[in-house]
Structure 1
Amino acid sequence: MGVWQLLEVGLVMLLGLFGVLVPGVPGQAIVWAAVVWWALTDTTGPAWAVLAGSTALLLIAQSLKLVLPPRRLKEAGVPRRSLLTGGVAAIVGFFLVPVVGAVAGFLGGLYGAERVRLGSHGAGWTSARTVLRAGGYSVLMELLACLLVVGAWVGVVIWG
């Protein structure tokens, strides 16, 4: 697979990561489709291993969504800007400190956005907890699963 095709696959994955943050966009399916595209083009053992692992991980993530509270972010009055800030911070955090950075980035970005919006520590923290209860855990879990898939893909592309 050429450099331009790898770049295109990476951009589709990035689109999928942001799709997780937007209600109604199937972010997990977009990330998985990008992995399928890559694995069908680069038919090596590591590529198929990433495809099999990502398929299993994303299916588990879909199953866990049944246990977590449904997304009711709009009903809770959560501004999209706060969720988007948390999501972007999670993506950046994942690549700075793999896996743990995604969770810390999401929570930190969400709290920071709510604190700026509401003006105080207490109100920001209360609002961030409300966001998590209203569906933020579901978004965080989906985003973390997709970030793990993207991280595995990056690892195989660079070192594979």
Structure 2
Amino acid sequence: MVLCFGAAATGAFVSKGGWYADLAKPSWNPPSWVFAPVWTTLYGMMAVAAWLVWRRGGWRDQARPLGAFLFQWALNALWTPLFFGMHRTDLALLDIVALWLALAVTVGRFWKVSRTAGALLVPYLAWVGFAAVLNFTIWRLNA
């Protein structure tokens, strides 16, 4: 749980400030209040999914799926500082595309261990796909 919500904590240290408010955004950009409950729910689901895989033998038996999980988690944690901290929508876009790919691998590996664990990550995969399209659109509108 701590690891999953740790990625969310990076946002607390990187202020959105006026920069994000001043960006051109598409008409379908969700209101700001949507992001916190969505990410909170997704991080909780990620934690449960990882626990379901871990309890089937821990690192000894599940190194590949758990390693994939940690890799996608690191990419997730990197996105906020790139986008909001450095204002690098281009690098954030590269990161989120890599995140989506790594997450797709993680879903597949989790699914082989526990269908429930894999299924718990599907909404996260969908949201990251949406966020990638949003990131791309914001990058294009402000390039």
Instruction: State the TM-score, normalizing by the size of structure 1.
Output: 0.41
Higher relative contact order (CA 8 A, sep 6+): 2
Highest CA radius of gyration, 1 or 2? 1
Greater helix share, 1 or 2?
Answer: 2
Q: TM-score, normalised by structure 2?
A: 0.44
